[in-house]
Amino acid sequence: MSVLEMRAVSKVYGEGATEVVALQEVDLAVDPGQMVAVMGPSGSGKSSLLTIAGSLEAPTSGEVLVGGGRLAEMSRDELARLRRRSVGYVFQDFNLLPGLTAVENVSLPLELDGLAARRARAAGVAALERLGLADRAGHFPDQLSGGERQRVAIARAVVGDRRLLLADEPTGALDSATGEAVMRLIRQACQQGVAAVVVTHDAQSASWADRVIFLRDGRVTDGTSPPPGPESLLAPGSGR
Protein backbone atom coordinates (compact mmCIF):
# COMPACT_ATOMS: atom_id res chain seq x y z
CA MET A 1 0.00 0.00 0.00
CA SER A 2 1.27 3.45 -0.87
CA VAL A 3 2.14 5.77 2.00
CA LEU A 4 0.89 8.72 -0.03
CA GLU A 5 -1.65 8.57 -2.79
CA MET A 6 -3.05 11.53 -4.68
CA ARG A 7 -5.89 10.84 -7.10
CA ALA A 8 -6.86 13.46 -9.66
CA VAL A 9 -6.03 16.23 -7.23
CA SER A 10 -6.78 19.79 -8.33
CA LYS A 11 -6.36 23.00 -6.40
CA VAL A 12 -7.82 26.34 -7.39
CA TYR A 13 -7.25 29.56 -5.45
CA GLY A 14 -9.64 32.48 -5.78
CA GLU A 15 -12.45 32.61 -8.30
CA GLY A 16 -13.57 34.44 -11.40
CA ALA A 17 -10.99 36.89 -12.70
CA THR A 18 -8.58 36.21 -9.83
CA GLU A 19 -8.76 32.43 -10.17
CA VAL A 20 -5.40 30.67 -10.07
CA VAL A 21 -5.19 26.99 -10.88
CA ALA A 22 -2.30 25.60 -8.83
CA LEU A 23 -2.79 21.87 -9.49
CA GLN A 24 -4.71 20.05 -12.18
CA GLU A 25 -5.67 16.38 -11.98
CA VAL A 26 -2.44 15.29 -10.31
CA ASP A 27 -2.01 11.56 -9.72
CA LEU A 28 0.86 10.45 -7.52
CA ALA A 29 1.61 7.35 -5.46
CA VAL A 30 4.65 7.00 -3.20
CA ASP A 31 5.44 3.61 -1.70
CA PRO A 32 7.30 2.86 1.53
CA GLY A 33 11.05 3.26 0.99
CA GLN A 34 10.59 5.34 -2.13
CA MET A 35 11.85 8.86 -2.78
CA VAL A 36 10.07 10.94 -5.40
CA ALA A 37 11.50 14.29 -6.47
CA VAL A 38 9.22 16.98 -7.90
CA MET A 39 10.81 19.45 -10.32
CA GLY A 40 9.35 22.37 -12.19
CA PRO A 41 9.73 26.12 -12.66
CA SER A 42 8.49 28.46 -9.95
CA GLY A 43 4.71 28.75 -10.03
CA SER A 44 4.31 25.24 -11.41
CA GLY A 45 2.49 23.98 -8.30
CA LYS A 46 5.33 22.21 -6.49
CA SER A 47 4.65 23.77 -3.10
CA SER A 48 0.87 23.34 -3.37
CA LEU A 49 1.45 19.66 -4.02
CA LEU A 50 3.42 19.38 -0.77
CA THR A 51 1.00 21.32 1.41
CA ILE A 52 -1.92 19.25 0.12
CA ALA A 53 0.01 15.98 0.57
CA GLY A 54 0.75 17.05 4.14
CA SER A 55 -2.91 17.91 4.83
CA LEU A 56 -2.05 21.56 5.51
CA GLU A 57 -4.53 22.44 2.76
CA ALA A 58 -7.47 20.58 1.26
CA PRO A 59 -7.68 20.01 -2.49
CA THR A 60 -10.49 21.65 -4.48
CA SER A 61 -11.23 18.25 -6.01
CA GLY A 62 -9.72 14.81 -6.02
CA GLU A 63 -8.60 12.54 -3.19
CA VAL A 64 -5.56 12.35 -0.92
CA LEU A 65 -4.76 9.23 1.11
CA VAL A 66 -2.01 9.00 3.69
CA GLY A 67 -1.28 5.52 5.00
CA GLY A 68 -4.47 4.38 3.30
CA GLY A 69 -6.68 6.87 5.17
CA ARG A 70 -8.73 9.39 3.19
CA LEU A 71 -7.90 12.88 4.42
CA ALA A 72 -11.32 14.18 3.35
CA GLU A 73 -13.00 11.80 5.80
CA MET A 74 -10.88 12.86 8.79
CA SER A 75 -11.90 15.39 11.42
CA ARG A 76 -9.68 18.34 12.24
CA ASP A 77 -8.37 16.51 15.29
CA GLU A 78 -7.63 13.40 13.28
CA LEU A 79 -5.77 15.45 10.69
CA ALA A 80 -3.75 17.18 13.41
CA ARG A 81 -2.85 13.80 14.90
CA LEU A 82 -1.84 12.52 11.47
CA ARG A 83 0.46 15.52 11.01
CA ARG A 84 2.01 15.01 14.45
CA ARG A 85 2.48 11.26 14.15
CA SER A 86 2.89 10.25 10.53
CA VAL A 87 4.13 13.20 8.52
CA GLY A 88 7.48 14.98 8.78
CA TYR A 89 8.31 18.29 7.10
CA VAL A 90 11.68 19.66 6.04
CA PHE A 91 11.90 23.23 4.76
CA GLN A 92 14.55 25.23 2.94
CA ASP A 93 14.98 27.58 5.92
CA PHE A 94 14.89 24.73 8.49
CA ASN A 95 11.98 26.20 10.56
CA LEU A 96 13.51 25.27 13.91
CA LEU A 97 12.18 27.06 16.99
CA PRO A 98 15.00 29.39 18.06
CA GLY A 99 14.21 29.22 21.78
CA LEU A 100 14.49 25.43 21.94
CA THR A 101 17.61 23.26 21.84
CA ALA A 102 18.18 20.75 19.05
CA VAL A 103 16.79 17.85 21.07
CA GLU A 104 13.80 19.92 22.26
CA ASN A 105 13.01 20.81 18.65
CA VAL A 106 13.14 17.15 17.68
CA SER A 107 11.09 15.84 20.60
CA LEU A 108 8.45 18.60 20.54
CA PRO A 109 6.07 16.86 18.10
CA LEU A 110 6.12 13.74 20.30
CA GLU A 111 5.41 15.76 23.43
CA LEU A 112 2.58 17.58 21.67
CA ASP A 113 1.24 14.16 20.82
CA GLY A 114 1.04 13.32 24.52
CA LEU A 115 4.21 11.31 25.01
CA ALA A 116 5.82 11.81 28.45
CA ALA A 117 8.61 14.40 28.33
CA ARG A 118 11.31 11.95 29.33
CA ARG A 119 10.37 9.40 26.67
CA ALA A 120 10.00 12.10 24.03
CA ARG A 121 13.46 13.38 24.89
CA ALA A 122 14.96 9.88 24.66
CA ALA A 123 13.42 9.42 21.21
CA GLY A 124 14.77 12.85 20.21
CA VAL A 125 18.27 11.96 21.36
CA ALA A 126 18.08 8.67 19.47
CA ALA A 127 17.00 10.46 16.27
CA LEU A 128 19.86 12.97 16.61
CA GLU A 129 22.31 10.12 17.21
CA ARG A 130 21.22 8.42 13.99
CA LEU A 131 22.02 11.64 12.14
CA GLY A 132 25.42 12.04 13.80
CA LEU A 133 24.35 14.96 15.99
CA ALA A 134 24.44 13.44 19.48
CA ASP A 135 26.98 16.04 20.63
CA ARG A 136 24.76 18.90 19.40
CA ALA A 137 21.62 17.89 21.32
CA GLY A 138 21.91 20.76 23.82
CA HIS A 139 22.79 23.45 21.26
CA PHE A 140 20.34 26.14 20.18
CA PRO A 141 19.72 26.57 16.43
CA ASP A 142 21.86 29.73 16.23
CA GLN A 143 24.80 27.73 17.59
CA LEU A 144 24.56 25.27 14.70
CA SER A 145 25.80 25.49 11.10
CA GLY A 146 23.27 25.45 8.23
CA GLY A 147 24.00 21.78 7.54
CA GLU A 148 23.58 20.86 11.21
CA ARG A 149 20.28 22.76 11.40
CA GLN A 150 18.97 20.87 8.39
CA ARG A 151 20.04 17.57 9.98
CA VAL A 152 18.13 18.54 13.15
CA ALA A 153 15.12 19.30 10.93
CA ILE A 154 15.43 15.87 9.31
CA ALA A 155 15.69 14.25 12.76
CA ARG A 156 12.47 16.08 13.72
CA ALA A 157 10.85 14.91 10.47
CA VAL A 158 11.60 11.22 11.07
CA VAL A 159 11.39 11.03 14.89
CA GLY A 160 8.94 8.49 16.26
CA ASP A 161 7.26 6.35 13.67
CA ARG A 162 6.77 8.77 10.81
CA ARG A 163 6.07 7.20 7.43
CA LEU A 164 5.95 10.24 5.15
CA LEU A 165 8.65 12.88 4.77
CA LEU A 166 7.79 16.01 2.79
CA ALA A 167 10.72 18.27 1.92
CA ASP A 168 10.49 21.68 0.25
CA GLU A 169 13.86 22.68 -1.28
CA PRO A 170 15.78 20.99 1.56
CA THR A 171 19.17 21.83 0.02
CA GLY A 172 18.25 25.31 -1.19
CA ALA A 173 20.21 27.14 1.50
CA LEU A 174 23.17 24.76 1.60
CA ASP A 175 26.45 24.44 -0.29
CA SER A 176 26.86 21.43 -2.54
CA ALA A 177 28.75 19.20 -0.09
CA THR A 178 26.29 19.87 2.75
CA GLY A 179 23.37 19.52 0.36
CA GLU A 180 24.69 16.13 -0.70
CA ALA A 181 24.96 15.06 2.95
CA VAL A 182 21.33 16.09 3.52
CA MET A 183 20.11 14.14 0.48
CA ARG A 184 22.10 11.14 1.66
CA LEU A 185 20.26 11.30 5.01
CA ILE A 186 16.86 11.49 3.34
CA ARG A 187 17.93 8.51 1.21
CA GLN A 188 18.87 6.63 4.40
CA ALA A 189 15.49 7.42 5.95
CA CYS A 190 13.89 5.90 2.85
CA GLN A 191 16.03 2.79 3.21
CA GLN A 192 14.42 2.41 6.63
CA GLY A 193 10.97 2.48 5.06
CA VAL A 194 10.04 6.17 4.99
CA ALA A 195 8.33 7.47 1.84
CA ALA A 196 9.70 10.87 0.78
CA VAL A 197 8.54 13.61 -1.56
CA VAL A 198 11.24 16.18 -2.24
CA VAL A 199 10.42 19.38 -4.08
CA THR A 200 13.54 20.85 -5.63
CA HIS A 201 14.73 22.91 -8.56
CA ASP A 202 18.21 21.45 -8.16
CA ALA A 203 18.98 18.57 -10.51
CA GLN A 204 21.76 17.18 -8.31
CA SER A 205 19.38 16.89 -5.35
CA ALA A 206 16.64 15.43 -7.56
CA SER A 207 19.03 12.79 -8.84
CA TRP A 208 18.96 11.09 -5.42
CA ALA A 209 15.31 10.16 -6.01
CA ASP A 210 14.02 6.85 -7.33
CA ARG A 211 11.66 8.77 -9.56
CA VAL A 212 11.52 12.38 -10.70
CA ILE A 213 8.26 13.95 -11.84
CA PHE A 214 8.03 17.25 -13.69
CA LEU A 215 5.27 19.76 -13.00
CA ARG A 216 4.27 22.53 -15.34
CA ASP A 217 1.25 24.80 -14.87
CA GLY A 218 -0.07 22.49 -12.17
CA ARG A 219 0.08 19.35 -14.28
CA VAL A 220 2.45 16.40 -14.12
CA THR A 221 3.88 16.62 -17.62
CA ASP A 222 6.60 14.02 -17.49
CA GLY A 223 8.52 11.62 -15.27
CA THR A 224 11.70 9.57 -15.31
CA SER A 225 11.71 5.86 -15.92
CA PRO A 226 13.21 3.64 -13.24
CA PRO A 227 16.93 3.98 -13.91
CA PRO A 228 19.00 1.00 -14.99
CA GLY A 229 21.75 0.07 -12.55
CA PRO A 230 24.88 2.20 -12.47
CA GLU A 231 26.82 -0.63 -14.04
CA SER A 232 25.53 0.60 -17.40
CA LEU A 233 27.74 3.68 -16.95
CA LEU A 234 30.80 1.48 -16.70
CA ALA A 235 30.11 -0.61 -19.78
CA PRO A 236 33.09 -0.94 -22.12
CA GLY A 237 33.03 1.83 -24.66
CA SER A 238 31.28 4.31 -22.38
CA GLY A 239 34.60 6.01 -21.62
CA ARG A 240 35.41 9.19 -23.44
Partner 1 sequence: MSIRHALLALLAEGPKYGLQLREEFESRTGEVWPLNVGQVYTTLQRLERDGLVESDGAAEGPQKSFHLTEGGAGELAEWLRTPPDLSSPPRDELVIKILVAVRLPGVDVHEVIQAHRRFLIELMQQWTRLKNDEADFDLSLALVVDAELFRLDSVIRWLDAADGRIRRAPADAPAGKPAVALRRKIGVRR
Nearer to partner 1, 63 or 217 (CB): 217
Beta strands in 14-60 (DSSP E): 20-30, 35-39
Query: What number of chain residues touch partner 1 (CB under 8 A)?
Result: 29
Residues 48/1, Cβ–Cβ less than 8 Å: no
Per CB under 8 A, 41 contacts partner 1? yes
Q: How far is the CB of 212 from partner 1 (least distance, A)?
A: 5
Using CB under 8 A as the binding rule, the residues of this chain from 195 to 234 that contact partner 1 are 201, 203-204, 206-209, 212, 214, 221-225, 227-230, 232-234
Nearer to partner 1, 72 or 203 (CB): 203
Q: How far is the CB of 202 from partner 1 (least distance, A)?
A: 8
Nearer to partner 1, 52 or 220 (CB): 220
User: How many Å apart are CA 170 and CA 181, to the nearest integer?
Assistant: 11
Per CB under 8 A, 81 contacts partner 1? no
Q: How far is the CB of 173 from partner 1 (least distance, A)?
A: 18
Per CB under 8 A, 145 contacts partner 1? no
Nearer to partner 1, 158 or 212 (CB): 212
Per CB under 8 A, 184 contacts partner 1? yes
Nearer to partner 1, 143 or 176 (CB): 176
Residues 222/214, Cβ–Cβ less than 8 Å: yes
Residues 6/63, Cβ–Cβ less than 8 Å: yes
Bridge partner residues of 11 (DSSP): 23
Residue of 191, 184, 194 whose CA lies nearest to 158: 194
- Residue 152 is given by DSSP the state H
Q: Going edge to edge, which strands form the sheet with 69-70?
A: 20-30, 4-13, 61-66, 69-70
User: How many Å apart are CA 117 and CA 229, to the nearest integer?
Assistant: 45
Nearer to partner 1, 101 or 205 (CB): 205
Nearer to partner 1, 64 or 185 (CB): 185
Answer left, alpha or beta for residue 178, where phi above 0 means left and psi between -120 and 50 means alpha. Answer: alpha
Per CB under 8 A, 187 contacts partner 1? yes
Residue of 154, 171, 4, 145 whose CA lies nearest to 90: 154
Per CB under 8 A, 17 contacts partner 1? no
Residue 98: CB partners within 8 Å, gap ≥ 6?
140, 141, 142
Per CB under 8 A, 39 contacts partner 1? yes
Q: How far is the CB of 151 from partner 1 (least distance, A)?
A: 17
Residues that bind partner 1 (CB under 8 A): 39, 41, 184, 187, 201, 203-204, 206-209, 212, 214, 221-225, 227-230, 232-234, 236-239
